[in-house]
């Protein structure tokens, strides 16, 4: 007794038709994504092809079978075109150049035109007869050159599509599952086609349309479960690689699970050497990253130096639904220019641009704290001095010579003073030196040495006023006493250092 396979075969084909059509409708509703548009056309073409083959299997006359074959080709002619365009959109994240869809659509339309006019020229196929096998209508026909054109087009599209998907699979780890489903769905009908041409089917049944049921479900899963039409994972990977900064992704154990090419260049490591490595084993990182194992901070910024360059490391925790930290993203940014700019601005804010000594504002800001630390056991001394006959230098040699004299004094002070001293240009040709833990006698000895070296090396003398504090007076009072001593040094003939004691007024000779 013959087995009636017609209900089973047509049912599978109709299911494939419905699923493909539903996927097509869903894809068209996602029209904001370029890949979804071509996916919608592809699924529509598949549904037409499957419906046509279901009709062919149910045909009762030669004319009916020929009409259903024509309907099949209305979908089959465009399947290679749409699958290539869908994959290209997936790759490019945008519509491909207009020339590509124009060329592919032209080839598909040419095949369809040949099929529609096949009755007059038979360049595609010649339908010879139909016969029943297990209640299925199977067509017998001879193949023409137009059909071979379609087969070449179909095979080339499969090779190109699988090549692009394989490239995606290798380069986009975050999207491997949907890519795998799309690859399986694309391969299934091609395998059915191979079964047909190898004559493995004893029923002489075309398995390619039946395999489109697998394609429909695979694309459906890609669309719904993994949101194949949503390009955010691809965009993430493109941004991940396009980011012009080294970037590492760590798991909770601080092992590297992902990185971009910039990170590979930064560490000088291949992927095999970086993946799975504990971040503490890498050089070129700031110390103390082990604290991240217990960190609950939302973000951290660390600064460090690598290869004589300044770097900033931003550490972002990775949480899932606001739960505990499950990993970290480390973003490196080279900030040498910014650090240099900040240092320049800080120097300009703190230093006198001519002498490179501290400016008056900075010294006056620090003096109260230093004065508060002074005592009988740890006195603090001040030296206030200016250049003798400085106006004469400007008048006789010009202001450039006067500026050079101040520059030379600044250098001499920096080379003469102890490291604990603070020296500033107080104003004009006046300079102020603060000497923590220094008595007036020691300060006088230093002042005399400075005056002697200035006369010997620079050719002019200094007048210097010295005072000592034990922390009982204000900064204004202390500077006023040093200024009084300086005035008396000038009154007594210049080129000398005088000391004003803490209690005596007027000042006496040091």
Residue 504, pLDDT above cutoff 80 = no
Helices of type H across 286-359: 336-350
Q: DSSP characters for 311-332? A: EEEEEEEEESTT-SEEEEEEEE
Angle between the 176-197 and 207-224 helix axes, to the nearest 10 degrees? 180
Cβ-Cβ contacts under 8 Å for 510 (sequence gap 6 or more): 440, 441, 444, 447, 466, 497, 498, 499
Q: What is the 3-state secondary structure (H, E, C) of 370-420?
A: HHHHCCCCCCEEEEEEEECCHHHHHHHHCHHHHHHHHHHHHHHHHHHCCCC
Report pLDDT digits (tens) over 65-92: 899 999 999 999 999 999 999 888 877 7
Structural domain boundaries in the chain: 6-235, 243-339, 352-509
- For the beta sheet containing 325-334, the strands, ordered from the edge strand earlier in sequence to the opposite edge, are 256-259, 247-251, 325-334, 309-319, 300-306
* Residue with the larger pLDDT of the pair 232 and 357: 357
Residue 234, pLDDT above cutoff 70 = no
- The answer to whether 112 and 79 have CB atoms below 8 angstroms apart is no
User: What per-residue confidence (pLDDT) applies to 509?
Assistant: 39
pLDDT more than 90, % of the chain: 28
- For the beta sheet containing 508-509, the strands, ordered from the edge strand earlier in sequence to the opposite edge, are 358-359, 422-427, 430-436, 380-387, 462-469, 497-500, 508-509
Query: Residue 99 — pLDDT band, cuts 50, 70, 90?
Result: very high
Residue 329, pLDDT above cutoff 80 = yes
User: What per-residue confidence (pLDDT) applies to 296?
Assistant: 67
> Which span out of 135-149, 473-487, 493-507 was modeled with the highest average pLDDT?
473-487
pTM for the whole structure: 0.50
User: What per-residue confidence (pLDDT) applies to 508?
Assistant: 41
Angle at 103 between CA 101 and CA 106, to 5 degrees: 105
CATH 1.20.1070.10, applies to 6-235? yes
Residue given tokens 């026909």 in the structure block: 141
- The maximal CA–CA distance of the chain, rounded, in angstroms, is 139
CB-based burial of residue 445 (10 Å sphere; 0-12 exposed, 13-18 middle, 19+ buried)? middle
Query: Residue 93 — pLDDT band, cuts 50, 70, 90?
Result: low
Mean pLDDT on 202-222: 74
Q: How far is CA 329 from CA 170, 246, 260, 304, 317, in A?
A: 22, 11, 12, 17, 6
Report pLDDT digits (tens) over 370-385: 988 888 888 999 999 9
Q: How far is CA 443 from CA 370, 374, 417, in A?
A: 16, 15, 10
Nearest to 21, CA basis, from 38, 40, 1: 40
Angle between the 475-491 and 360-373 helix axes, to the nearest 10 degrees? 110
User: What per-residue confidence (pLDDT) applies to 251?
Assistant: 81
Mean pLDDT on 124-139: 82
User: What per-residue confidence (pLDDT) applies to 112?
Assistant: 93
Please tell me the CATH code under which domain 243-339 is placed: 3.30.450.20
Report pLDDT digits (tens) over 39-62: 899 999 999 998 998 888 888 898
Average pLDDT, the chain: 83
User: What per-residue confidence (pLDDT) applies to 20?
Assistant: 87
Nearest to 368, CA basis, from 466, 469, 439: 469
User: What per-residue confidence (pLDDT) applies to 110?
Assistant: 94
Report pLDDT digits (tens) over 447-482: 999 999 999 999 999 999 999 987 788 889 899 999
User: What per-residue confidence (pLDDT) applies to 231?
Assistant: 52
- The answer to whether 365 and 424 have CB atoms below 8 angstroms apart is no
What architecture is the 352-509 domain classified under in CATH? Answer: 2-Layer Sandwich (3.30)
């Amino acid at each position: 007794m013959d087995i009636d396979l017609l209900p089973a075969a047509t049912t599978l084909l109709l299911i494939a038709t419905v699923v493909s059509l539903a996927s097509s409708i869903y894809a068209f509703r996602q029209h904001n994504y370029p890949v979804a548009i071509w996916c919608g056309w592809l699924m529509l073409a598949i549904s037409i092809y499957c419906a046509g083959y279901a009709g062919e299997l149910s045909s009762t006359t030669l004319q009916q079978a020929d009409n259903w074959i024509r309907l099949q080709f209305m979908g089959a002619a465009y399947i290679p075109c749409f699958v290539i365009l869908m994959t290209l959109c997936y790759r490019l994240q945008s519509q491909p150049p207009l020339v590509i869809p124009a060329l592919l659509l032209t080839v598909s339309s040419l095949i369809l035109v040949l099929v529609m006019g096949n009755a007059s020229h038979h360049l595609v196929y010649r339908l010879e007869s139909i016969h029943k096998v297990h209640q299925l209508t199977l067509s017998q026909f001879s193949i023409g050159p137009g059909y071979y054109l379609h087969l070449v087009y179909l095979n080339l599209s499969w090779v190109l599509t699988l090549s692009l998907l394989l490239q995606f699979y290798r380069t986009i780890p975050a999207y491997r599952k949907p890519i795998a489903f799309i690859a399986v769905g694309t391969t299934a009908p091609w395998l059915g086609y191979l079964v047909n041409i190898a004559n493995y089917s004893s029923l002489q049944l075309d398995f390619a349309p039946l395999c489109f049921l697998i394609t429909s479900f695979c694309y459906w899963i890609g669309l719904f479960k993994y949101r194949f039409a949503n390009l955010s994972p691809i965009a993430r990977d493109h941004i991940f690689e396009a980011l012009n900064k080294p970037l590492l992704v760590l798991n909770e154990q601080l092992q590297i699970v992902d990185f971009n090419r910039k990170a590979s260049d930064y560490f000088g490591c291949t992927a095999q050497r970086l993946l799975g490595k504990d971040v503490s084993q890498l050089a070129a990182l700031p110390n103390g990253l082990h604290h991240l194992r217990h960190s609950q901070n939302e973000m951290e910024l660390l600064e460090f130096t690598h290869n004589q360059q300044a770097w900033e490391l931003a550490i972002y925790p990775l949480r899932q639904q606001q739960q505990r930290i499950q990993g970290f993203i480390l973003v490196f940014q080279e900030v040498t220019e910014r650090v240099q700019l900040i240092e320049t601005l800080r120097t300009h804010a703190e230093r006198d641009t001519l002498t490179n000594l501290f400016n008056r504002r900075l010294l006056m800001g620090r003096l109260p704290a230093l004065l508060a630390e002074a005592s009988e056991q740890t006195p603090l001394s001040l030296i206030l001095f200016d250049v003798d006959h400085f106006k004469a230098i400007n008048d006789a040699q010009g202001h450039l010579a006067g500026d050079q004299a101040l520059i030379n004094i600044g250098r001499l002070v920096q080379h003469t003073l102890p490291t604990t001293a603070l020296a500033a240009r107080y104003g004009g040709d006046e300079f102020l030196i603060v000497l923590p833990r220094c008595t007036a006698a020691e300060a006088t000895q230093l002042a005399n040495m400075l005056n002697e070296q200035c006369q010997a090396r620079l050719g002019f003398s200094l007048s210097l006023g010295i005072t000592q504090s034990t922390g009982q007076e204000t900064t204004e009072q202390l500077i006023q006493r040093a200024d009084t001593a300086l005035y008396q040094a000038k009154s007594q003939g210049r080129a000398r250092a005088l000391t004003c004691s803490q209690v005596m007024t007027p000042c006496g000779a040091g």
